[in-house]
Amino acid sequence: MTVRPFTLVLAAVVTLLAWQTWWLGPDARRVPLVVVAPLLALVGCQLLREARARGAPPATDPRPAAVAAVAWAAALPAAVAAFGMLAGPPLFVAAFMRLRGREAWGPTLALAVALAAFVWLLFVVLLQQSVPRGFVG
């Protein structure tokens, strides 16, 4: 069995979209139905192709490094949600550079402060837009 998990996820998404399309009104579903019906067939072909592929199974998937990279990327919106747009990004940068990049404190703090200043300048001074606050503070 060489079907990749990503293809299975895609197949699930397309099936869900097809199911939702079926229950739409006639006007709303006209164009999506034209797209999703062949899309279902194409995804089926891709699944078949992967299932019938010979040779070595795909490499371990997902790789630990990839999982870590995705987790770090998810940490930024989480930090923004928790601490707001002014405090979240510098906290994320400090954690990312110290823990993931093993950087010294000097460049870490310099970049964190510079990016915080940029966010403040852009939203507060230039755009005069309210900066979202986090649920922590």
Q: How far is the CB of 56 from another protein (least distance, A)?
A: 16
The position carrying tokens 């919106």 is 77
Binds another protein (CB under 8 A): choice among 12, 66, 117, 136: 66
H runs (alpha helix) in the chain: 5-22, 26-52, 64-95, 105-120
Map the footprint of another protein across residues 98-137, applying CB under 8 A: 100-103, 107, 111, 115, 118-119, 122-123, 127, 129-130, 132
| Crossing angle between the packed helical segments 64-95 and 105-120, to the nearest 10 degrees | 70
57 contacts another protein (rule: CB under 8 A) = no
CB–CB of 92/76 below 8 Å? yes
Separation between Cα atoms, residue 78 and residue 80, nearest integer Å: 5
Q: How far is the CB of 58 from another protein (least distance, A)?
A: 9
Which residue in the set 12, 51, 69, 117 belongs to the binding site for another protein (CB under 8 A)? 69
Contact status: 49 vs another protein (CB under 8 A): yes
Q: How many residues bind another protein (CB under 8 A)?
A: 60
